[in-house]
Structure 1
């Protein structure tokens, strides 16, 4: 008699456990649940891509600083040395056209950085 009660209870518990597992799985497979899971994965992927881009940018800035140090671009200007050469040559190497403005620096001095996020 005790044996039958034990196996009956074990069978009932296994049935409840299996029913619960099946119901949970069915809820996970509803269209709303699948859409929510896909949205969560997309957001997580977006965060990972953003973190990767920030890491790349930080490494790029660090390497740029290393190169500037190696090339002496950040060195203080010695007042005894002459200033940078300024030429009145136009873009093609010839004289500048009348009314054409020649920039004193070979690179733009505005704060625009093409590597920044827009």
Structure 2
């Protein structure tokens, strides 16, 4: 499952919410930039669903990046920004026989 450098053609910035917490211990505040890497973004077809009486447009994609000590620290609480859009990270998986890549299932259009 090797991926050549040419396939990693999208810049992906990762962001993490600031270290402030509310009275219940939940993170609050703005997202802060962590780092930027090259990745491959594959968007899936969008879907609309009715949520609480309103139509909600949710789009999903998979972002593949090279695994490194830096990228290994990414969690589902972080956010990816690519192609001028913010994506919430829903899941992260090691891929390839040598686990050299990370695949992230991401969603745009929903709340973080």
Scaled by the length of structure 1, the TM-score of the pair is: 0.18
Q: Which has the higher helix share?
A: 1
Q: Whose Rg is larger?
A: 1
Q: Which has the higher strand share?
A: 2
Answer 1 or 2: higher relative contact order, Cα 8 Å, separation at least 6.
2
